[in-house]
Amino acid sequence: MTRLALAVLLALTVPAFAAAYDKTETTSAYTLRLRVPTEAMAIAPLKTEIFARFARDSAEIKTDSVSDQKDMPEHFHPYDLDTLWRVTFNSPDVLSLSGYSFVDQNGAHPNAGYDSIVWDKSANRAVPINELFAKDQLEPALRAIATYAKAELIKFVSEQEGAPADSSMADEGIAPDPKKLG
């Protein structure tokens, strides 16, 4: 197993967080919040990557919330996007980050979104998940990661709600596919 592959596996189990960047933007239509740890802010291209992802995610929130506020003011409540990035692994070679977003788009209930970045410090770039494993190990590795991630999500939701979680929600968002796990 490569050091990068080990970083991914450790990223699933080692939580940590220290915010260097914490910014909130609030209007009558939405609230946007982004929190980024010190280690990520110290690497300019990684900081740029995180900010670009947040800009992409928040653009839809801004557009839709302003439109909904105008079109249906009697049913409107402000949208919310709160994204927290945390370090899950840090070594001289690799920085692994996990992003969690709370998303409320004026629907029946809020949603959650997840993201991750494995940053190769030597190459100064994000490493796609399919590059972390040998080709013959990629499919079994993705299956193992997806299985673990589903179990952890179900456990987390069950603990938060104080009752067993519906496993179908994990099945909808987590799969042994680089697009779902990347």
pLDDT at residue 2, as a whole number: 44
pLDDT digits (tens, 9 = 90+) for 56-84: 999 999 999 999 999 999 989 999 999 99
Quote the pLDDT of residue 18.
54
3-state secondary structure the chain: CCHHHHHHHHHCCCCCCCEEEEEEEECCCEEEEEEEEHHHHCCHHHHHHHHHHHHHHHHHHHHHHHHHHHHCHHHCCCEEEEEEEEEEEECCCEEEEEEEEEEECCCCCCEEEEEEEEEECCCCEECCHHHCCCHHHHHHHHHHHHHHHHHHHHHHHHHHHCCCCCCHHHHHHCCCCHHHHC
Low-confidence ranges of the chain (pLDDT < 70): 1-18, 182
Residue 54 pLDDT: 98
pTM for this prediction:
0.76
